[in-house]
Amino acid sequence: MTYSRILGTGSCLPEKVVTNHDLEKIVDTSDQWIQDRTGIKQRYIAGEHETTGDLAEQAARRAMEAAGKGPEDIDLIVLATTTPDQIFPSTACLVQSRLDIHGCPAFDIQAVCTGFVYALAAADNFIRAGNATCALVIGAETFSRILNWKDRGTCVLFGDGAGAVVIGASDEPGILSTHLHADGDYAKLLHVPDGVSRGYDQVQQERAFVEMRGNEVFKMAVNTLGRIVDETLEQNGLKKSDIDWLIPHQANYRIIRGIARKLQLPIERVVVTVAEHGNTSAASVPLALDVAVRDGRIKRGEMLLMEAFGGGFTWGSALVKY
Ligand code: UT7
């Protein structure tokens, strides 16, 4: 039986840091409110000409270097983003060219904040089926581009960045299981209402911006992530105590703490980057993973539970023996 395992991780953040105090000058908010309600202290925001592809490329290079893999080794690229550089080609194809990789399949996945978990599941399935041997899986966003900087309910929450992993075929797991779900009935609680086919709001002459009913999303996220944690443990016949590290989507510290409590996992065993990164959507899980791998917290052989929840609604998890 063929499995896939993580061979290397990488990430990239823009240079520009925007603190909560900076946002106090733009919208009616306060550092205290943002920290109390979300745990966020700052976020990184892409420069004027910096794109999702730029961040993705750097994260991918670092992941390939950590994995000891070159362009000739990669035979699949899956990139999760809600904020592609262009309508087409896919950002995966743009990054493929910059990395001097040629011929292998490359495509984008759109599952908003759950995007990386979806991308990882897709790549894992390619490898398990024997259709790829070494895949580059990227979550990358310039979410700041779709924020309404006059809406204090959303603009304080998000940031930009990219994270990547290289996964390779292995006789031993690796990725033990992935669990993906979606329910489009909840689309309007968290969405960008405009788009290519529907057109853009010509009256307001505004770009397409994120709209969110935060409190309703919060409640759904807590319940849904609680359920997917149970589903993941049950399907693998594991106990809560078998999990060494929780690597959650970094949307809100209160949600993260709730899931940690459910797992009876001390907060020291949870990778928390929300204070520094904010919510980077599809980049948040691989960014957090890379931080904890590089600072030496996550070690080979440990059991990782990744989970995410986002627009769609979409939600998912991955159980990984690192
Ligand atoms: O990544 C995808 C998944 N996304 C999430 O998981 C996000 C889920 N939602 C959340 O994290 C939280 O709901 C928020 C952080 C967005 C909001 O926290 P909340 O505790 O649910 O607050 P709320 O929306 O119920 O708003 C409470 C009050 C309101 O004022 P009133 O009506 O009570 O007077 C808001 O207008 O806080 C006000 N408020 C703010 N005040 C200062 C909303 N945003 C801000 C702000 N600064 N930035």
pLDDT band at 98 (very low <50, low <70, confident <90, very high): very high
In this prediction, residues 255-283 reach a mean pLDDT of: 96
pLDDT band at 24 (very low <50, low <70, confident <90, very high): very high
3-state SS of the chain is CCEEEEEEEEEECCCEEEEHHHHHCCCCCCHHHHHHHHCCCEEEECCCCCCHHHHHHHHHHHHHHHHCCCHHHCCEEEEECCCCCCCCCCHHHHHHHHCCCCCCCEEEECCHHHHHHHHHHHHHHHHHCCCCCEEEEEEEEEHHHHCCCCCHHHHCCECEEEEEEEEEEECCCCEEEEEEEECHHHHHHEECCCECCCECCCCCCCCCCCEECHHHHHHHHHHHHHHHHHHHHHHCCCCHHHCCEEEECCCCHHHHHHHHHHCCCCHHHECCCHHHHCECHHHHHHHHHHHHHHCCCCCCCCEEEEEEEECCCEEEEEEEEC
Per-residue pLDDT at 152: 98
> Which residue out of 218, 228, 273 has the highest number of ligand 1 atoms within 8 Å of its CB and is therefore the one to mutate?
218
> Measured in angstroms, how far is the CA atom of residue 154 from the centroid of ligand 1?
8
Per-residue pLDDT at 166: 98
Task: Give the number of the atom of ligand 1 that is nearest the alpha carbon of residue 252.
Answer: 11
Q: Does the beta carbon of 173 lie inside 6 Å of ligand 1? A: no
Task: Give the number of the atom of ligand 1 that is nearest the alpha carbon of residue 153.
Answer: 44
> Measured in angstroms, how far is the CA atom of residue 155 from the centroid of ligand 1?
11
Residues annotated as part of the active site = 113, 249, 279
Q: Does the beta carbon of 213 lie inside 6 Å of ligand 1? A: no
> Measured in angstroms, how far is the CA atom of residue 229 from the centroid of ligand 1?
25
In this prediction, residues 69-73 reach a mean pLDDT of: 98
* CB neighbour list of residue 166: distance below 8 Å, 6 or more residues apart: 6, 7, 8, 63, 64, 66, 67, 69, 74, 134, 135, 136, 137
Q: Does the beta carbon of 143 lie inside 6 Å of ligand 1? A: no
Give the relative orientation of helices 214-235 and 253-262 as an angle to the nearest 10 degrees: 30
Q: Structural domain boundaries of the chain?
A: 3-171, 177-321
Question: If you take atom 35 of ligand 1, which residue's CA is the nearest one?
Answer: 153
Q: Does the beta carbon of 221 lie inside 6 Å of ligand 1? A: yes
CA dist., res. 112 & res. 131, Å (int): 26
Per-residue pLDDT at 200: 78
In this prediction, residues 140-144 reach a mean pLDDT of: 98
* CATH domain 177-321 topology: Peroxisomal Thiolase; Chain A, domain 1 (3.40.47)
DSSP lists the bridge partners of residue 17 as: 44
Q: Does the beta carbon of 113 lie inside 6 Å of ligand 1? A: yes
Q: Does the beta carbon of 142 lie inside 6 Å of ligand 1? A: no
Residue 207 has pLDDT above 90, yes or no: no
> Measured in angstroms, how far is the CA atom of residue 153 from the centroid of ligand 1?
6
Q: What percent of the chain has pLDDT over 70?
A: 98
In this prediction, residues 113-121 reach a mean pLDDT of: 98
Is CATH 3.40.50.1820 correct for 3-171?
A: no
Residue type, 108: D
The reply to whether domains 3-171 and 177-321 share a CATH topology is yes
Task: Give the number of the atom of ligand 1 that is nearest the alpha carbon of residue 152.
Answer: 48
* CB neighbour list of residue 48: distance below 8 Å, 6 or more residues apart: none
Residue 204 has pLDDT above 70, yes or no: no
pLDDT band at 203 (very low <50, low <70, confident <90, very high): low
Lowest-confidence region among 39-43, 86-90, 165-169, 203-207:
203-207
Residue 138 has pLDDT above 90, yes or no: yes
User: CA 155 → CA 103, 142, 201, distances in Å?
Assistant: 39, 13, 19
Mean pLDDT estimate for the chain = 96
Q: Does the beta carbon of 140 lie inside 6 Å of ligand 1? A: no
> Measured in angstroms, how far is the CA atom of residue 216 from the centroid of ligand 1?
10
Task: Give the number of the atom of ligand 1 that is nearest the alpha carbon of residue 310.
Answer: 2
Per-residue pLDDT at 312: 97
Question: If you take atom 38 of ligand 1, which residue's CA is the nearest one?
Answer: 153
Residue 187 has pLDDT above 80, yes or no: yes
